[in-house]
Structure 1
Amino acid sequence: MSFLKHKRSVSDIWPIKSKTVLIRVDFNVPIHNGVIAKGADARIKACLPTIRRVIDQGGKAVLLSHMGRPTGYKYALLSQSPSKHAQVLQLWQSEKGQELTTFFSLLSGPEKKKILNWSTKSSEGFRLSDSNGAGKTDLFASLDVQEKVTLLQRFIKETDEDTMFPQLRQYNGFKEELTLQPVAVRLEELLNAMPEYTSKTVVKFAPDCMNAQDEVSALKPGEVLLLENIRFYSDENSKDESERLAMAKHLASLGDYFVSDAFATSHRHSATIVGIPRVIGHGCCGYLMKREIEAYADLLGEPPRPIVAIVGGVKVSEKIVLIENILPQIDNIIIGGAIAFTFLKVQGYSIGNSFNQSGQSFTDTYGRHKTNIDELAARFLSKAKTHNVKVLLPVDHICHVKCEGTNTPWVTADANVPEGYMSLDIGPKTIQLYRSCIESSQTAVWSGPMGVFEIPTFSTGTFVVAKAMGDGTQDRGLVSIIGGGASATAARICGHDGRVSHISSGGGASLDLLLEGKNLPGIRVLDDL
């Protein structure tokens, strides 16, 4: 993997004084009620050196990031309808708890009347006129939240708003849980907390990433601007390459240089990952990106065998194609977490109420393939045998009737989960099985927890995996890499993060690069030295 080392970095951009530098970062951190979860700002901290490099040289840093997986609006539709664009902006900027009423208030008089006629206060709504100021919004505001949700869901199903406002379908009413505004606040705190800097750094926020020309123009040298969630526009990961390119061209027009510090998403062909550097005609690594790919080049040029891939997490649809592709490169694969239950179910085991995706269909990012997940799971197990890869699945479970803590969890005797129960962690026999596999390996790559480790009752399996990797690294030189995300968080919580070879900021990108040796699209597009 020596090809990875020969990439330009942000240090190679010169001069950048008074220039605008677009920096693609990954600030996809957990936020609840507008507050970043305690200790969950590691991704923000990891990008501070790159941002500092730009602003310390007198550059203007414009940051682009995604947050979560909103359905997103089509930029082409909004750009053709200024009124709809304004409506969306007001939704994004509405005060918390008011977003449903805000949406209602922006509808026409007849639309408001139609909705109110379906409500429990239809008789009062019937008496109100269609004109503005008649009191329809106040009447809607007096309804309870669940009724508002039900009414708006019915409205979008019966009108073309279903295509314009998919967030209302997905989140039962548009919510602001996916805004990056709290990240801007935390980023400014972190930049100004760096002890070597005494002058205050300003971090501004643009509430619409595709309408940020004014905010960018107003930036002064040494200032930072964070754009709102780029996935609020579906063009970012559109199946249509022309839509991704159109978004990339628009955003590229805002800057002079492009820097990528988002390793975790470098396996995607997104508008802001691949499109922008192609449009600008150049791109370089941020310090986080550079550190990641150099670490992999050093550690896994020729990984010692046997190699075990440890895969957990929630959705098998997000990882099944990837883990199928890496079968020729590995010797063993450990599967835990919720994704294990689709595999167990296709083998005939009972899984109770455990989360699974059995029976669902899987479509890849750009809509090229659509397959039943059960068929994919069965095909994976068959392919693993063909490649002589041993697949380790849970042989017992720690269960409860709800996903909450308990002092009396149910430990199953075998791989079957009783009716009425859900598995929330791997059981003691499985723990020993998985630990033994790691102990007999020379290379271990881990992506995804074994259970709901955030709840102490169900943290043992995940923490044992972290300890086994740490012990192996320290005691016998195991090459151990944790692929970021929840796995990295778990390793930090149980104190083994500093005992492994490397902790990545990427999940899927890590497995792609580490085990397939792929020159990922988000890395390939960047300039060589």
Structure 2
Amino acid sequence: MKIIKTVKDFNFKNKKTLLRVDFNVPIDKNHRIIDDTRIQYSIPTIKKIISDQGKVILITHFGRPKGKNLKSLSLNFLVHILSKKLKTHIKFHDNCIGDETEKKVNELKKGEILLLENLRFYKEEEEENEQFAKKLAKLGEFYVNDAFSVSHRSHTSISLLPKLFNNNKCIGMLMEKEILFLNKFLSGKGKKPITVLLGGAKIYSKIKVIENMINFSDYLIIGGGISYPFIKIKGGKVGNSIIKDDQTIDHRLIHSILSKDNRNIIHFPNDVIIADSFNNSANTKICNIYSIPDKWIGLDIGPNSIKHFCHIIKKSKTILWNGPMGVFEFKKFSTGTKSIAKAIAKSTTENESFSLVGGGDSIAALKTEGYDKKISYLSTGGGAMLEYLKNKSSIGIQSIIM
């Protein structure tokens, strides 16, 4: 990949800097933040710009307002939180484009920060709209992308806006860190053994990742919903287990992956917890993954699989995990995912392994059990992480280096 410039390569003194962050953080019904990881990770980038005596204009989306100005999805609630974290007053404006917005930006003094209203209050943000990009570009002299978690989206502020800044654009420290750690896996130069664990339900987003990882991983563990298409193609009976995207999967890709596994590095569950219906109160039993009866559904990995996978994790020195091992949102089927979370945390702290975890459910499992602080790096992006692992880049990164 071409060398990509970061905020460390520039001095932002007296420059109006459009900083694209992702503050689309989960909140409760009282607008209290449940997880502020994305905010925390972008603080160093903000501090770098204001320490240069630059002027920061924060732009982000929040929720899915679909082009409507919804009070419930306003970013105003972030002002107090950001002011506290940065120990400075954060200004706020209730729009992100227009004459009044430009006026507010032009009034900024060196070292000041202005948070603009939700980008997605305009449907043009999600439509790659050139006119919307031009209106946003009027607000800044520099563009910085520190929103890794949406860097795979073809959205105006990610893909089009940076192109209007010529050489006055770069990535922030959050983006830099994500790229650094993901490249560590893609290079295959991490400490051996290298173990990759992939779960979840959407196989189409992980097929290419599996293809890339099979060349240098020592262990490639495939669990959760994405394991069933493989088991089915290998001749197993998977009952009514949910196989998402089954009609759109190119089965030749799965055959190709299985044929490439000449080192026998791919490990599937050998037993699973099956249920007679898709809910937390369903009847359950343990079953061989190749012999799931009709009308039964595989919803978690079984005890033997947990033991086998945890044994692999224990002896691993470099670990990447994305995706749960079962239907994690149901307590009855969360044991497999929680066990994996515990094993990775333990290997990180006791064996000094390097661990990288991405994806909402995987990180939620870690946080639920209090293991999140014991992981080497928590990626801020699930889909963005997978996109990077597939293509060794993303739309947001390409728009910076063009």
Task: Indicate the TM-score class for this superposition, using the shorter chain for normalisation.
Answer: 0.7 to 0.9
In structure 2, do the counterparts of structure 1 residues 186 and 299 end up closer, same or farther at CA, with 3 Å as the change threshold? farther
Query: Mapping of 1:96-495 within 5 angstroms?
Result: 180-181=73-74, 184-194=75-85, 197=87, 200-206=89-95, 212-219=98-105, 220-221=107-108, 222-230=112-120, 233=123, 236=126, 247-268=132-153, 270-281=155-166, 282-296=168-182, 302-361=189-248, 373=249, 375-376=250-251, 378-388=252-262, 390-406=265-281, 410-415=284-289, 416-495=291-370
Cα contact 1:309–1:333 (8 A) shared by 2: yes
Cα contact 1:16–1:54 (8 A) shared by 2: no
SS for the counterpart of 1:355 is coil
SS for the counterpart of 1:259 is strand
Q: Among 14, 25, 40, which residue is 1:16 paired with?
A: 14
In structure 2, do the counterparts of structure 1 residues 235 and 304 end up closer, same or farther at CA, with 3 Å as the change threshold? same
Residue 352 of structure 1 and its aligned partner are, at CA, apart by 4.3
SS for the counterpart of 2:225 is coil
Q: Among 43, 46, 50, which residue is 1:48 paired with?
A: 43
Structure 2 runs not aligned, ≥5 long: none
Cα contact 1:216–1:225 (8 A) shared by 2: no
SS for the counterpart of 2:361 is helix
Deviation digits for residues 368-396 of structure 1 (CA, Å, limit 9, x no counterpart)? xxxxx1x34x5224324225353322322
In structure 2, do the counterparts of structure 1 residues 67 and 38 end up closer, same or farther at CA, with 3 Å as the change threshold? closer
AA in 1 matched with 2:243: N
Q: TM-score, normalised by structure 2?
A: 0.81
In structure 2, do the counterparts of structure 1 residues 202 and 232 end up closer, same or farther at CA, with 3 Å as the change threshold? closer
Residue 321 of structure 1 and its aligned partner are, at CA, apart by 3.1
Residue 342 of structure 1 and its aligned partner are, at CA, apart by 3.2
SS for the counterpart of 1:338 is helix
AA in 2 matched with 1:203: F
Cα contact 1:319–1:508 (8 A) shared by 2: no
Q: Judge which range, 35-44 or 424-433, deviates more.
A: 35-44
Residue 308 of structure 1 and its aligned partner are, at CA, apart by 2.3
Q: TM-score, normalised by structure 1?
A: 0.63
Q: Distance in 2 between the 1:323 and 1:28 partners?
A: 29
SS for the counterpart of 1:505 is coil
Is 2:34 the partner of 1:39?
Answer: yes
SS for the counterpart of 1:328 is coil
AA in 2 matched with 1:305: K
Number of positions where the alignment pairs a residue of Structure 1 with one of Structure 2: 393
Residue 260 of structure 1 and its aligned partner are, at CA, apart by 0.9
Q: Distance in 2 between the 1:405 and 1:253 partners?
A: 52
Q: Distance in 1 between the 2:382 and 2:39 partners?
A: 16
Q: Which residue of 2 aligns with 1:176?
A: none
Residue 503 of structure 1 and its aligned partner are, at CA, apart by 1.9
Residue 414 of structure 1 and its aligned partner are, at CA, apart by 1.0
Residue 61 of structure 1 and its aligned partner are, at CA, apart by 1.3
Residue 234 of structure 1 and its aligned partner are, at CA, apart by 6.7
Q: Distance in 2 between the 1:464 and 1:450 partners?
A: 9
Cα contact 2:6–2:173 (8 A) shared by 1: no
AA in 2 matched with 1:202: K
AA in 2 matched with 1:217: K
AA in 2 matched with 1:312: G
Q: Distance in 2 between the 1:37 and 1:420 partners?
A: 41
Please report the RMSD computed on the Cα atoms of aligned residues, expressed in angstroms.
Answer: 3.6
Cα contact 1:62–1:227 (8 A) shared by 2: no
Q: Among 5, 22, 29, which residue is 1:7 paired with?
A: 5
Is 2:26 the partner of 1:26?
Answer: no
AA in 1 matched with 2:141: D
Cα contact 2:358–2:378 (8 A) shared by 1: yes
AA in 2 matched with 1:324: E
Cα contact 1:61–1:224 (8 A) shared by 2: yes
AA in 1 matched with 2:194: I
Residue 277 of structure 1 and its aligned partner are, at CA, apart by 1.8
Residue 505 of structure 1 and its aligned partner are, at CA, apart by 1.5
Structure 1 runs not aligned, ≥5 long: 73-88, 96-178, 362-372
SS for the counterpart of 2:300 is strand
Cα contact 2:37–2:380 (8 A) shared by 1: no
Cα contact 1:397–1:425 (8 A) shared by 2: yes
Q: Distance in 2 between the 1:263 and 1:356 partners?
A: 29
Residue 493 of structure 1 and its aligned partner are, at CA, apart by 2.0
Deviation digits for residues 65-92 of structure 1 (CA, Å, limit 9, x no counterpart)? 3646x8x6xxxxxxxxxxxxxxxx6xx2
Cα contact 1:381–1:391 (8 A) shared by 2: no
In structure 2, do the counterparts of structure 1 residues 348 and 216 end up closer, same or farther at CA, with 3 Å as the change threshold? farther
Cα contact 2:313–2:319 (8 A) shared by 1: yes
Q: Which residue of 2 aligns with 1:64?
A: 60
SS for the counterpart of 1:471 is helix
AA in 1 matched with 2:397: I
Residue 491 of structure 1 and its aligned partner are, at CA, apart by 1.5
Larger Rg belongs to = 1
In structure 2, do the counterparts of structure 1 residues 283 and 484 end up closer, same or farther at CA, with 3 Å as the change threshold? farther
Cα contact 1:451–1:458 (8 A) shared by 2: yes
Residue 279 of structure 1 and its aligned partner are, at CA, apart by 1.5
Q: Distance in 2 between the 1:412 and 1:465 partners?
A: 18
